[in-house]
Amino acid sequence: MPVVYEKEMLKTDDFFEHLGRKLPVELYFKGVSTPSLQGCFREDIVVVGHGFGQLDNVYLTLNISTAIEMRCCRCLAPVYTRVSLREMFKIRTEPTEDEIDLLPHILAAISTSLDPHPLCLPNCRGLCPVCGINLNQHPEHEPHLAEAEGRKLADFL
């Protein structure tokens, strides 16, 4: 069955009808159809917590969990990362709004939590700068840049 992206909105009526009262929040975003700058979501984004309304603001304390696949910054291999965050948000609402799109806030929190330089292994050897071979799969491969340059230079001398 194809997954259809249903935009999850947080209804604000309850918060403003019961100002100051802590109310449960549960939201669910389809991972496959949620764009991310750093990679692809491999699980849905589950958001569970509570919040309350005060003046024009909604204050939320949310647990965010999902999994994302990024690329190793050295060798481009997939890096699967579990995300489990507890975040607090203060969202200002307009009087005409009866629902809030939390997804941009949630994506921003996830982005900030991710390693900007993900590695497939702590000691990933990356790709050979000359021929592009994966040095993790070919540990015997000697980086030949300096050697090649040296030989070229020697030929001229």
Which one of 33-41, 52-60, 95-103, 123-131 is the stretch in contact with Zn ion (CB under 5 A)? Answer: 123-131
Give min distance, CB of 78 to Zn ion, in A.
10
Contact 110, 82 (CB under 8 A): no
Rg from Cα positions in the chain? 24
* CB 81 to Zn ion: min, Å: 13
- Regarding 135 and contact with Zn ion (CB under 5 A), the answer is no
The reply on whether position 124 binds Zn ion by CB under 5 A is yes
Considering beta carbons, is residue 74 or 105 the nearer one to Zn ion? 74
Q: What value, to the nearest 5°, has the Cα angle with vertex 11 and ends 44 and 98?
A: 135
Cβ-based nearer residue to Zn ion, 85 or 128:
128
Distance CA 89, CA 132 (A): 44
Residue 128 C-beta: closest distance to Zn ion, Å? 3
Q: Which residue has the tokens 């995300």?
A: 83
Minimum CB distance to Zn ion, residue 43 (Å): 22
Among 100, 107, 120, 135, binds Zn ion (CB under 5 A): 120
How deeply is 61 buried, as exposed, middle or buried, from its count of CB atoms within 10 A (0-12, 13-18, 19+)? Answer: middle
Query: Within positions 45 to 84, which residues make up the interface with Zn ion, using CB under 5 A?
Result: 72, 74-75, 77
Q: Which residues pair with 28 in a beta bridge?
A: 46
85 Rama sector, left if φ>0, alpha if ψ -120 to 50, beta otherwise: beta
- Enumerate binding residues for Zn ion (CB under 5 A): 72, 74-75, 77, 120, 124, 128, 130-131, 133
